[in-house]
């Protein structure tokens, strides 16, 4: 089940709620018992490393070794 972040408008506390996606927009009560809460938009961060881009195919064909550019015999 996914986690959803909420913020309480009364006490300004941010908290998480685990619930099914079908209930994502249902109201949530903060840990202090307040019901005036707002679901926060998720922030997605992807990690990884940059790699060199693939080399483009030669102009006028799809690459070496194909019907357009047979490999040397």
pLDDT at 12: 96
The more confident residue out of 6 and 71 is 6
pLDDT at 71: 63
pLDDT at 34: 97
pLDDT exceeds 90 at position 10:
yes
Residues of 25-61 as b/e, b for ≥16 C-beta within 10 angstroms? Answer: eeebebeeeeeebeeeeeeeeeeeeeeeeeeeeeeee
Closest CA to 6 of 52, 32, 41: 41
Name the pTM for this structure.
0.57
pLDDT exceeds 80 at position 44:
no
Closest CA to 40 of 23, 15, 11: 15
């Amino acid at each position: 089940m996914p986690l959803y972040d909420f913020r309480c408008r009364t006490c300004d506390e941010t908290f998480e709620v685990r619930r099914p996606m079908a209930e994502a927009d249902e109201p949530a009560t903060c840990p202090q018992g307040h019901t005036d809460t707002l679901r926060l938009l998720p922030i997605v961060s992807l990690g990884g490393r940059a790699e060199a881009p693939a080399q483009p195919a030669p102009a006028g064909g799809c690459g070496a070794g194909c019907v357009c550019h047979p490999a040397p015999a």
